[in-house]
Amino acid sequence: MAAVLDVANMTALWSERWSNRFASLGETFYTALPPQGVPDPHWVAWSPSCAALLGLANTQQPTDDHSLQVLSGNALGAGMQPLASVYSGHQFGVWAGQLGDGRAHWLGEVETPNGPMEMQLKGAGLTPYSRMGDGRAVLRSSIREFLGSEAMAGLGIPTTRALCVTGSALPVRREAIETAAVVTRVAPSFIRFGHFEHFAHTAENPEALKRLADFVIDAYYPGCHETPQPYVGLLEAVARNTAEMMAHWQAVGFCHGVMNTDNMSILGLTIDYGPFGFLDVFDPGHICNHSDHQGRYAYARQPNAAFWNLHALAQGLLPLIGEPDEALEALEVYKTTFSQALEQKMRAKLGLATAQEDDRTLIDDMLKRMAADKADFSISFRRLAQFNTTEGATNASVRDLFLDREAFDEWAVRYASRLRAESSVDAERALRMNRVNPKYVLRNHLAEVAIQQAQAGDFTETQRLLKVLERPFDEQPEHSAYAAFPPDWAQSIEVSCSS
């Protein structure tokens, strides 16, 4: 196990703990180049939880200037080998050709008590893959990515992490002039479906695809070596992890917004927090990305979008697999895994301790009522923990969330009967339900308040909101305002690919 670090001068202490396995693949896979820093950087936000993941002894924000400069792209720690990787992909279902890390610089891989972790700086300047972009990130989008990553981690959902955000007065043009920021991202790997697609479509270096697949199997899926066809085993393992991730998303009402194949992690991690959001009212057709004009990645379409992306990955791996039928068969695990995982999570959200034949109908009818009456997704399930199974109980705290009270009453009779049939004890069930139904999620209006204050130079709300989101299932009565219904002005918030 790697030693615990002192955060005071962490980059110096990390100097002997860096490995660079991805860099060892060769320059076909990347362009080596240093990040382009920002002038006069300052700290914006820091995640003690992510620092603990990295094995830091003092998880609080560093006080040394060297760490600030390194995490802003102005300096390098010993052992870092910065690079930008190349990949391709399908964007909104259309082949986009070569893409790549247009504003991300991979620093290398640091040894931690939790295994090797890659670190990236997002927003640290131009790369050969920036296309028409400027290689920068703005404060607004950086705070969203920071809070989104850490909120998902708090919910127990597979995700990349965010160690910190640093800011600068450097002007960056989006819809208007904004200020620059840099996010330090952390993950076991940032390899995407698009990496495989790129090398499958690049005839000039066909052996690179095999080198990449062998690397991913050796580093992250060694069990595939025990299967009859390791590349089929790899596809099946990725399909299974992706299905589990999608079940997590659907169960908490998370919408990604840009589920392109270049934004799909080979490890089944939530990656690239651009336009994303958590449902307020339950709307299966909700589109969180203002740029998604066709609704390709609407909430209810996300599971099918992920399956489509897996087909694109299968096509990328086909030169190694050989037989299309074997690839298609490997993908079947997605459908069974997703269905079973989501049903299990939804049973838990309703507090059902056993599995019964009619549970899916009970769950679906609850969701239909929520959609018809525009009930708040998170609040509805959280309040359901208070449900009283005693015959004749009104259950007003849940009932009042629905416009059609009589329809809810009909469902509530069936729900109460189902709970009594398994001898459910209300108090015990409430504890179980509160462990899976978050009280706090990163609603857009909460992020917007933190962003507006940060843009005015006050970063305390960002840090305060982070602390709340790290414990989303706890009551935290002192922070109950963060669990309230969204204000009317929240409906006017729009997030797009520039967010």
Active-site residues: which are they? Answer: 262
- What is the spatial distance between Cα 488 and Cα 322, in angstroms, rounded to a whole number? 55
Instruction: Kindly state the tokens that stand for 392.
Output: 């004749």
First-to-last alpha carbon distance for the chain, in angstroms, is 39
- What is the spatial distance between Cα 134 and Cα 55, in angstroms, rounded to a whole number? 34
β-pairing, 104-110 vs 117-122, is antiparallel
Find where tokens 């963060």 sit: 482
Which stretches does DSSP call E strand in 234-352? 254-255, 277-278
- What is the spatial distance between Cα 226 and Cα 293, in angstroms, rounded to a whole number? 44
Answer for the pair 55, 97: CB distance below 8 angstroms, yes or no: no
Instruction: Kindly state the tokens that stand for 493.
Output: 């918030």
Answer for the pair 291, 311: CB distance below 8 angstroms, yes or no: no
- What is the spatial distance between Cα 12 and Cα 8, in angstroms, rounded to a whole number? 9
H or E element in which residue 431 lies: helix 426-434
Residue 173: count of CB within 10 angstroms of its CB: 10
Instruction: Kindly state the tokens that stand for 285.
Output: 């057709």
Buried b / exposed e over 339-363, threshold 16 CB at 10 Å, is eebbeebbbbbbbbeeeeeebeebb
- What is the spatial distance between Cα 271 and Cα 365, in angstroms, rounded to a whole number? 32
H or E element in which residue 48 lies: helix 48-53
What burial class does residue 66 get, using C-beta atoms within 10 Å of its C-beta: 0-12 exposed, 13-18 middle, 19+ buried? Answer: middle
State the Cα angle at 314 between 309 and 316, rounded to 5°. 95
- What is the spatial distance between Cα 341 and Cα 356, in angstroms, rounded to a whole number? 15
Which amino acid is located at 355 in the chain?
A: A
